[in-house]
Structure 1
Amino acid sequence: MNHLVLTVIAQDQTGLVERIAKCIAEHQGNWLESRMARMAGQFAGILRVAVPVEHRPELVEALQGLERQGVRVLVADSGAEPSHSWKAIQLSLVGNDRPGIVRDITRLLSELGINLESLKTDVQPAPMSSEPLFHAEALLALPAGLALDRLQDQLEALADDLMVELNLQEHE
């Protein structure tokens, strides 16, 4: 079996996921996992599929043919998962919205060798003042040699500079 990672983007419309799923199934592909969302009228997703080696070329051609229906699909071969040992940590962050929060947090994570496994962000009005509040939820992969205390200290120092509240907890 070949494992493919697909990135999909299209104007949001009813039946879009069904069309993609039908295309995959018609070419003996198996939908394994996905993350999808609608944002600002666009639909975007990333998914992993398995397909028998002999059906890969036809599946890729069919997926790319969806462009005629306004569905752009980028196909990448899935590599083997790294065998690094790491610890899963959940990061929650909230603070007044301002440019650069994601940049500053991800710069620190990168400097510490931490991989960002998933990230969800949103800006919503504060309950009492209606000021825009930035919210982030991230799943982090800490390298085995990095102490959680060190990450906590580094993030707390940055949180003070950014004027945000953050919380770290081990992910089950």
Structure 2
Amino acid sequence: MATFVITMIGDDRPGLLQAVSEPVSAHGASWERSQLSRLAGRCAGIVQVSVPDDRVDALAADLLALGGDGLQMVLQRVDEVAEPPSVQLHLDLLGADHPGIVAEISAALAGRGISIEEFVTEVREAPMAGGTLFAAQAVLRADPDLGTDSLRDLLEGLADELMVEIRLSDE
């Protein structure tokens, strides 16, 4: 079996997911994991599929042919990588929206060797206060030896600088 990560982006329309899933199914591939979102009228997504080795080329050709329908597709074959031991952490952030929040948080995490496994953000209207709020939820992967108390202290200091609330948990 071969594993592929497929990234796609195109104008959002009914039947878009069907157009991508049909060749996956037709070639006996397994749709294993995906995240798709509608952003600014576009559908953007990432999909992990496994396909029998003898059907790799045919599946790739059919998926890339969807470019004629205005869907940009990138296929990347990946080898399974042995994951080092890690712990999963959850980060929630909320505060007044302003430039630099993602850059500061991601730099602090990278500086501690922490991977961001999932990251979801949104800007929304602040109820009753006016203005906009920036909200982020992240799933993080860290070395099991990392002291979460020291990470929590680092993030709390950063939260004060950025004027946001940050909650870190292991659940």
Q: TM-score, normalising length from structure 2?
A: 0.97
- What is the aligned partner in structure 1 of residue 4 from structure 2? 4
1:134 CA displacement: 0.3
**Equivalent residue number for residue 113 of structure 1:** 113
1:118-158 Cα deviation digits (max 9, x unpaired): 00000111111221000000001111221100110111111
1:47-62 equivalence runs, <5 A: 47-62=47-62
Give 5+ residue unaligned stretches, structure 1: none
Cα distance in 2, alignment partners of residues 113 and 129 from structure 1 = 37
Secondary structure in structure 2 of the residue aligned to 1:64: helix
Matches within 5 A, 1:3-152: 3-152=3-152
Match of 1:88, SS state, is strand
Deviation per residue, 1:52-76 (Å, 9 max, x gap): 0010011111111100011111001
Percent identity for Structure 1 against Structure 2: 35
Deviation at 1:25, TM superposition (A): 1.1
Q: Which amino acid aligns with 2:15?
A: G
CA RMSD of aligned residues (A): 0.9
Alignment partners' CA distance in 2, 1:132 and 1:79: 42
Q: Match of 2:129, SS?
A: coil
> Which amino acid in 1 is paired with 2:30?
N
Query: Where has structure 1 moved over 6 Å in runs of 4 or more?
Result: none
Query: Which 5+ residue runs of structure 2 have no aligned equivalent?
Result: none
Q: Structure 1: which amino acid aligns with 2:66?
A: L
Q: 1:37 offset after TM fit, Å?
A: 0.7
The count of aligned residue pairs is 171
Residues 3-22 of structure 1 deviation map (CA, whole Å, 9 limit, x = unaligned): 10000111000000011000
2-structure distance, mates of 1:91, 1:52: 37
